[in-house]
With several copies, the nearest count.
Chain A
């Protein structure tokens, strides 16, 4: 029953990030994080439309993407805290995590470039057969990045099985969409012949339905789709915002969006009893997640050059 699962996923992401914020304040997650609180409905709804064999590309605001796709929360938190038990042995951190086992190809820091990467992954999956698809997340800030537009053209030209998910949360850091985007976001998809639509990203079931349709088209060889999800981040761009005074959104706007909290919207669709049970399970899991993280070792400083290359080529030290 998707309603309950969606609720569980959203609840997990919300509480995971709230616990992560504590670890940021405690200095355990030194990078700080880009919280996705308020946008969980997109991650949950999109990934609910995917199969385990499908792949995703996450963003810098990607904890929700990974959790929804099935990454182990213990090892994700450990990764964010730079522990060797992390999904990437601490080398990816909060910003650039990848989790091949869960189908998470990665999260490049170059905003928008995941679109071309996703096309390449989709090409490989299509060649292998089996109808697998790729979901590629990016933000509204990414839609004026040339490499993203080049990637859309390639995905459409070659009818690749990708669902492009634009999380339009209204801002790229401090930059409002209106001052950055001439024309529209869906118009960029249409320019390349890609079926494109805008849906309410705060309603997890709307997101799921829209994604499911696009996934079906992709599996059937119908090529890529673009879905613009109207959403909002309830917190700052990055946790550093709590320390600097950036006034680019007004209180009223933030308050209005908080009225449309995906957690509340989905909670209303789940019985009191189920919610209580799920909430309790999530809390128990997150206690375990935090304990696991704090108990995990930090990487050995001697390993700074590990994983630079596939083979053991000689890498000279900084002093001879």
Chain B
């Protein structure tokens, strides 16, 4: 079977969906020259009415997308750097995401915000490595963080077809991931449905985005001593609580890996919900970045702040030993 890379999956999903539905169009910076590679070949294929190069006016074109969506189109807005989502945070969370409710359900705002470079950008300094997906979940905006090429393809299709704003985080660290796929079998992946990448009986190890691959590696590594179930929610909001509950019901133990700042992050939400609703045989453990961590210009400093496989392994062993 042919190999599909995560980056190519994004490019293919955009192309397939634009071909299927001509209300879909993409706008962003340097998209004509496919700087991020997601739009590679699309300008030639669909022309400048569908692939729209924008100035550095993120708030302006985010509002523009809101308007185009309210008038019946399905814009995909590409952002080059995580902080650009912070720059348009108000336009997404307080405007695009609120018009439906403020109109009593009359207005739809089907915009996809595509960040093909979430998380750490090695050595690019303190302003290029944020991982702000939990912020959108707090504000109630649909948010996905796929870990694999097939999930990236399927969730991008679903995000574009969804009638609400959806923020799509593609982790830089996952862009190179390749997978054997039967292209004909590629299909939409529903929002809010997690995925058990590896079944297990002793511990549920939750990971989202690129740490899924670290989680799988650790599970494999520890296979001799412990049976680890790797659960990938894939969607941050709405979250697959039923899926996680089922997994934890099987294992009774919980570890969450989240390569984002600790306070009020996704891992916090998962542990909080587990503490309220799940029966745990041992206290759950989070492996995250520190509070307010800023990943900067020196890799050895940054790496000391990011969740490591060793930390994950230690956390798994810890929840196994302890009892609630």
Contact = CB atoms under 8 A, between A and B. Distances in A.
Contacts of A151: 57, 60, 63-64
Given A92-B297, A308-B292, A127 B73 contact: yes
B95 to A, nearest CB: 5
Interface stretch (A1-9, A106-114, A252-260): A106-114
A21 interface: no
Contacts of B307: 318-319
Interface string A246-288: 1110000000000000000000000000000000000000000
Given A96-B127, A106-B99, A106-B103, A121 B298 contact: no
Contacts of A125: 71
Contact of A88 (B104, B127, B163, B306): B104
Contacts of B262: 316, 318
B179 interface: no
Nearest to A305: B290
A9 B320 CA distance: 63
The 7 closest A-B pairs by CB, nearest first: A120-B67, A150-B60, A116-B63, A93-B297, A89-B104, A124-B71, A310-B163
B107 A98 contact: yes
Interface residues of A, number: 81
A309 to B, nearest CB: 5
Interface string B21-50: 000000001101101000000000000010
Instruction: Report whether over half of chain B's contact residues are helix, strand or loop; otherwise say mixed.
Output: loop
Contacts of A98: 99, 102-103, 106-107
B106 A316 contact: no
B125 A31 contact: yes
A154 B61 contact: yes
Instruction: Report whether over half of chain A's contact residues are helix, strand or loop; otherwise say mixed.
Output: loop
A157 B64 CA distance: 13
Interface of A: 30-31, 55, 82, 86-96, 98, 100, 105-106, 108-113, 115-125, 127-128, 141-142, 144-147, 149-151, 153-154, 157, 172-175, 179-181, 246-248, 298-299, 301-311, 313-320
Q: Count chain A CB atoms within 10 A of each CB in B68, B72, B305 and give the residue with the most.
A: B68
Given A110-B127, A127-B49, A320 B300 contact: no
Contacts of B58: 145
Contacts of B195: none
Contacts, number: 294
Interface in B273-324: 273, 276-277, 285-294, 296-307, 311, 314-315
Contacts of A87: 104
A95 B307 CA distance: 25
Nearest to B66: A117
Nearest to B260: A318
A299 to B, nearest CB: 5
B60 A93 contact: no
A144 B315 CA distance: 48
A95 B63 contact: no
Given A30-B123, A181-B55, A298-B300, A311 B163 contact: yes
Nearest to A60: B125
A307 B99 CA distance: 10
A172 B56 contact: yes
Given A305-B290, A316-B262, A319-B285, A116 B100 contact: no
Contacts of A301: 300-301, 303-304
Given A92-B297, A301-B304, A304-B304, 6 more contacts: A92-B103, A105-B67, A106-B107, A110-B95, A120-B63, A309-B100
